[in-house]
Amino acid sequence: MSEASIVLPGQIDPQGFIPEQPATQGLTWLSAFALLEISGPDSERFLQGQLTCDMTSLKADRWTLGACCTAKGRMVANFVIARHGDSVWLRLPRAQVSALRQHLARYAVFFKVTMTEHLDDWLVTADVPAELSAYDDNPDSLSDGRLLQHDSSDNSLTLHWPDGRVEYWLPSEKANAQLQQAPELTAEQQWWLGDIAEGIVWVEEASREAWVPQFIDWHIHEGISFRKGCYTGQEIVARLQYLGKSKKNLVAVSTVADANIAIMTALQDSQGKTLGDIAAWCGRLGLAVMNSDWPESGIKAGEIPVTLARLSYTEGTTEQNNSDADPAITDN
């Protein structure tokens, strides 16, 4: 990233952007994320055959979540996706932008599409409220809460999250001005903690091609459409949804004090048996992809003792979420 991208009193460290005087709420710069633009007359048709989300039902005033998988159903990347004029834009971890573009390029040769990485000319900022709204995994509530607004004056986008958070996709000059004029700046990790509270995992370089989408509850977060046609990896993803039960689940992880735990750190029981891997981490909280059965105590991430708990939206449920399923298929 160019040092000229943003000029603010603060610093970037492994926990993201930290202002000199961070508030507990307010505006922040999502330095860990960047944008990928797919444009051209064939962009929708091309992406419909590559992504887990249904491009034909993506409205101009809504955003959604999606993923791109290998033929074996393993996620190369997952992302926020929205229409931006005649183009489609994806927001994903910065280190994943080039990897996803290169992956998609292998399938794009027969389509009239152009892929553009926006690493420095556009930036992602966000507004974190003092308190997040309660999570509601009802598909209608998720859709209604994922509002998208277009600003024709500078071509920017504003994305509203159901929990009250807001993110902005802005030209770098506008992002600089927005942050410099903000009455309060908060640390980027406040946004990451919001993701963890919602059960949102982003595929990073270390976890690329490690999981099928259901392992990180992407079906619960409406990041998979089971009504659309074929896409790369669809057979594996659909088979798990309709014919099997996932042997791995996303769970909440915590430590008694702040810890530096890397993505894909193995979680082991007292006998040294690996039960899962860290999928997201910030401070003393994280998420892990775990085997379905795990002991109540004695689990460590490396040498660090951790506590596991079910996520709020999965408590009391053991079945896969088939809310988007075709009854004619699930009955077979």
User: For residue range 166-224, what is the model confidence (pLDDT) as tens digits?
Assistant: 999 999 999 999 999 999 999 999 999 999 999 999 999 999 999 999 999 999 999 99
Q: CATH classification of 25-198 is 3.30.428.10, yes or no?
A: no
Contact 162, 141 (CB under 8 A): yes
Position with higher pLDDT, 85 vs 323: 85
Model-level pTM? 0.90
Average pLDDT across the chain, whole number: 90
Stretch 286-303: mean pLDDT: 93
What is the mean pLDDT of the segment spanning 95-108?
97
Which residues belong to CATH 2.40.30.110 in the chain?
A: 234-330
Q: Tokens 């079906």 label which residue?
A: 219
Q: Where in the chain is the domain with CATH 3.30.1360.120?
A: 25-198
d(CA 314, CA 308): 13
Range 248-285 burial, b when 16+ CB lie within 10 A, else e: bbbbbbebeeebebebebebbeeeeeebbbbbbbbbeb
pLDDT at residue number 243: 78
Q: What is the pLDDT of residues 39-61, one digit of tens each?
A: 999 999 999 999 999 999 999 99
User: What does the pLDDT read at residue 201?
Assistant: 98
User: Is 23 exposed, middle or buried, given 0-12, 13-18 or 19+ CB atoms closer than 10 A?
Assistant: middle
- Fold category of 234-330 in CATH: Elongation Factor Tu (Ef-tu); domain 3 (2.40.30)
Average pLDDT over residues 217-242: 94
Q: For residues 104 and 50, give the distance between their C-alpha atoms in angstroms, rounded to a whole number.
A: 8
Give the residue from 122, 82, 74, 119 showing the smallest Cα distance to 101.
119
Cα–Cα distance for residue pair 184/168, rounded to 1 Å: 16
Which residues fall within 8 angstroms of residue 88, CB to CB, at 6 or more apart? Answer: 37, 38, 39, 43, 44, 47, 55, 58, 81, 82
Residues 6+ apart with CB under 8 A from 258: 283, 284
- In the predicted structure, residue 329 carries a pLDDT above the cut 60: no
Residues 68, 75: contact at Cβ < 8 Å?
yes
Count of residues for the chain? 332
Residue-wise pLDDT for 301-327, tens only, equals 999 999 999 998 876 544 433 334 333
What is the per-residue pLDDT across 22-35, written as a single tens digit (0 to 9) for each?
999 999 999 999 99
Residue 117 has pLDDT above 90, yes or no: yes
* 89: number of Cβ within 10 Å: 22
CB 309 within 8 A of CB 294: no
- Work out the percent of the chain whose per-residue pLDDT is above 70: 89
The distance in angstroms from the start CA to the end CA of the chain is 50
321: tokens are: 């979420």
Share of the chain above pLDDT 90, in %: 78
Mind listing the pLDDT tens digit for each residue in 122-157?
999 999 998 987 655 555 556 678 999 999 999 999
